[in-house]
Amino acid sequence: MSKKMRNTTELEQEVLHYLNELRESGETNMMDGGRYVSAHFALDRYESRAYLKMWMDNFQPSGEYEKIIDENQESQNSNQ
């Protein structure tokens, strides 16, 4: 099954780049990255965890996040 890709929003790109920078800083274990996203972007814990999962699913050391895996498409395919 091929993975469907989609373009990222401006906020998604900002958060994904922030998570890359956080990882490179070594300030925290990335499993705790959602807390940092929540504080930095004023998001609730559910939104910040969703962004952290998005980052983990699409991690690119280069920081290129113009396209990511379309999670909605993936979950629709697994339900069929």
- pTM (2 d.p.): 0.84
The pLDDT value given to residue 73: 53
Phi/psi at 64 (5° precision): -85, 110
pLDDT tens track for 24-75: 999 999 999 999 999 999 999 999 999 999 999 999 999 999 999 987 654 4
Q: Is residue 42 part of a domain?
A: yes
Q: Is residue 75 part of a domain?
A: no
Q: Is residue 72 part of a domain?
A: no
The pLDDT value given to residue 36: 98
Q: Is residue 30 part of a domain?
A: yes
Q: Is residue 16 part of a domain?
A: yes
pLDDT tens track for 12-22: 999 999 999 99
Question: pLDDT tier at 3 (50, 70, 90 boundaries)?
Answer: confident
Instruction: Provide the domain limits for residue 13.
Output: 5-67
The pLDDT value given to residue 76: 47
Q: Is residue 43 part of a domain?
A: yes
Residue given tokens 């996040």 in the structure block: 65
Number of domains in the chain: 1
Q: Is residue 61 part of a domain?
A: yes
Q: Is residue 77 part of a domain?
A: no
